[in-house]
Amino acid sequence: MSTLEPIQVGLSNALLAPERPLPPGVITWNGSDPSVRFDVYRNNVVVSLTTALAEGFPVTRALVGERFFAAMARCFIADHLPSSPILSDYGDALPDFIAAFPPAQGLSYLPDLARLERARVQAYHAADAPALTAQDLACQLANPQRLSAARLALHPACIVLVSEHAIVSLWAAHQGQGRIEDVDLRRAESALVLRDGDAVLVLPLSLEIGHFLVALAAGAPLGEAAEIAAAAGPDVDLTQAIVLLIHYGGIAAWHTPGDL
């Protein structure tokens, strides 16, 4: 609409930039400076989005402190306004933003820690899907030579993370599990984030299993994923990986080439 467009362009431009003048035609009943009143809107946008990020990244926020987090969030918001009004989707881009944010360069583990927190929110809201049970999978043993070529679809609420840093221990330390001081940040760690009933669990994995599941999640066939796991380290316990997946309903589908 021609009468709304210019004023909404002008107000949008002024929302994230307090120094920008308001578009013409913004008035107040008592002749007071409309920009001071418009500050309420400026404030609403920044504070509400900062609060949204803080709620989605509580450990990231605890690590850097409230003041740093708010300042970082403000920089993030200026670059990445939400593209949809669904706030549970807001924050996908924060981990990469942190990785490129100069003041956070000293905390090399922070982007992956933020990815872990993001994964928890994504897992919580992920689609529901039936999972394959041990009974469903028993038939796969009839043709063991075909196992290597099988591809698994992980449940939508299963997210695998592998980090060069001890993000799982660090996150756990913020849940009262272990001391922050004792976390050896140089230790690479892996986790499987998944939904169990109404709860979101963070299950620590060995790095080998972490790489195995990352490969499966990326669509690699079982055999290739097993070789990737073997290359990642000596302690490849595929049984445990499969047990974990079956127990937590992590396998949504099992495709063997040739099957319809």
Compute the least distance from the CB of residue 207 to another protein, in Å.
Answer: 14
Using the minimum distance from each CB to another protein, give the nearer residue, 4 or 260. 4
96 vs 175, which CB is nearer to another protein?
175
- 21 vs 204 by CB, closer to another protein: 204
Q: Closer CB to another protein, residue 61 or residue 115?
A: 61
Q: Using alpha carbons, select from 74, 79, 161 the residue that is nearest to residue 117.
A: 161
Sequence-distant (6+) residues with CB within 8 A of 200 are 120, 123, 124, 193, 194
Q: Toward another protein, which CB reaches closer, 214 or 251?
A: 251
Nearer to another protein, 87 or 217 (CB): 87
Determine phi and psi for 176, rounding to 5 degrees. Answer: 80, 15
- Name 207's Cβ contacts closer than 8 Å, sequence gap at least 6: 162, 188, 189, 190, 232, 233
Q: Using CA atoms, how far apart are residues 119 and 256, in angstroms rounded to an integer?
A: 29
How far apart (Å, rounded) are the C-alpha atoms in residues 158 and 248? 9
The conformation of residue 85, written as its DSSP 8-state character, comes to S
CB-based contact 88:125 (threshold 8 Å): yes
Query: 60 vs 2, 51, 78, 135, 259, CA distance in Å?
Result: 44, 13, 19, 41, 45
Taking the complex as a whole, how short is the minimal distance between the CB of residue 180 and another protein, in angstroms? 4
Q: Closest approach of Cβ 26 to another protein, in Å?
A: 5
Shortest gap between Cβ of 198 and another protein (angstroms)? 4
- In whole angstroms, the minimum distance from the beta carbon of 260 to another protein comes to 21
CA 188 → CA 19, 165, 168, 239, distances in Å? Answer: 45, 5, 9, 22
Nearest distance from C-beta of residue 157 to another protein, angstroms: 7
CB 193 within 8 A of CB 158: yes
